[in-house]
Amino acid sequence: MPGKSKSRKRTKRRVAELRGAIDQMEGDIVVVVFDDEQRLEWPGRFVPEEAKSGDVVIVRVVPVDETHWSGVSEGGKITLGEQAIQWPGKVDDGPLALSIEVDAADTTARKERVRGLVDDIFKKK
């Protein structure tokens, strides 16, 4: 109806994963920069051995155990030691853990996309 606005109640949806890339590896620390520009210095012991700088990674919330990085969630903010990230969707408050895995297919796709952009730049000169 004209003049009336419909208000929709927005609820946060559950986001199953957060994606990013390994920016650098410094000793026992793996720096992950997420697609939403957040950043975490991830303990190397929780990162797959085959991971290397430039790899695309997928991070998921998982139940707490000794093989994943444990933290606490409150209001969507996940605190891991002295660091914190904002999860882009709904996550239950309380103890949780984050898993990280390398996405080889997306790593290859992103590298090809960048290579194509670089090729385009140099072809235009």
What is the chain's alpha carbon radius of gyration, rounded to the nearest angstrom?
Answer: 18
Tell me the pLDDT tens digit for each residue of 7-56.
444 445 566 799 999 999 999 999 999 999 999 999 999 999 999 999 99
107: nearest Cα among 18, 19, 44: 19
Task: Please indicate, yes or no, whether the overall pTM of this predicted structure exceeds 0.85.
Answer: no
Domain residues of the chain, as ranges? 18-123
- Tell which residue, 87, 74, 86, has the closest CA to residue 14: 87
- Report the alpha-carbon distance of residue 75 to residue 10 in Å, rounded: 15
Burial of 103 (0-12, 13-18, 19+ CB in 10 A): middle
Tell me the percentage of the chain whose pLDDT exceeds 90: 68
- What is the pairing mode between strands 39-43 and 94-102? unpaired
The C-alpha atoms of residue 35 and residue 56 are separated, in whole angstroms, by 10
Question: Using CA atoms, how far apart are residues 16 and 97, in angstroms rounded to an integer?
Answer: 13
Instruction: Give 62-111 pLDDT, tens digit per residue.
Output: 999 989 999 999 999 999 999 999 998 889 999 999 999 999 998 889 88
- The reported pLDDT for the residue numbered 80 is 96
